[in-house]
Amino acid sequence: MSFLTEQKQKFDDLRVTLHVDNRTQLKRSANGGNTVLFVYPPADEEEYIAKARELYADGHFIDIAELFVKSIDLLGDEYNSFDKQRKPLDGFKAFYLENISTTFKTFTNDYPNCLFSLIIKDICLASQDGKTTFLMHTGALEGTGIENVNIMEHKSVMSQGIPLVIFYPADYRNDELLFLNHKPASKYRCNLVK
């Protein structure tokens, strides 16, 4: 199947999955979840994001890579509160090194400006206007300790009216979903568009 044919089929499947008449079925097939994992080859990520922006021009697109940088700046600024001369990145480095034995906590739910908190906050803000929300550049989560299932199982995500769409650079091989083509991923609380 050609790239354009495959891309069209995936977006057609996404449109059907997101349709208001299918939301109850989505929650049933996603074990109570309210998320769609939109799977595509990592090398084709920018093409899929561009097409989604075209098809869902009124949607909310939350860029995980941008939130990652924002989190580093915010945490760095907090850490630098006693030394305003340091740059946020330097403050973040010091904060990270101080927490080296539990680095995943730097990105997860222990701090208000951590990456996970920023992601959930943006999802909640975006959902308030009743438009479809897309998480993109999720490959930036690699190595942070944040898994797609952490987002999918968050009570705020599960209780929203409109399903969250997670753009997911992965390969689906032998009935196994491989994030970034190498890391087994959970598809328990989601509907898969592959």
In a domain, 19, yes or no: no
DSSP assignment of 147-183? -HHHHHTSHHHHT-SS-EEEEEEEEEETTEEEETTTE
In a domain, 188, yes or no: no
> How many folded domains does the chain comprise?
1
In a domain, 85, yes or no: yes
Q: What was the pLDDT predicted at 42?
A: 96
Q: What was the pLDDT predicted at 53?
A: 98
- Domain extent at residue 103: 3-14+26-164
With a cut of 50, list the residues of the chain below it in pLDDT.
none
Q: What was the pLDDT predicted at 1?
A: 66
- Cα distances (Å, whole numbers) of residue 117 to 19, 52, 77, 187: 28, 25, 16, 22
Q: What was the pLDDT predicted at 174?
A: 87
In a domain, 95, yes or no: yes
In a domain, 189, yes or no: no
- Cα distances (Å, whole numbers) of residue 34 to 21, 46, 53, 114, 162: 14, 24, 21, 23, 8
Taking phi first (over 0 means left), then psi (-120 to 50 degrees means alpha), and beta for anything else, what does residue 31 get?
Answer: left
In a domain, 101, yes or no: yes
Q: Is the pTM of this model over 0.75?
A: yes
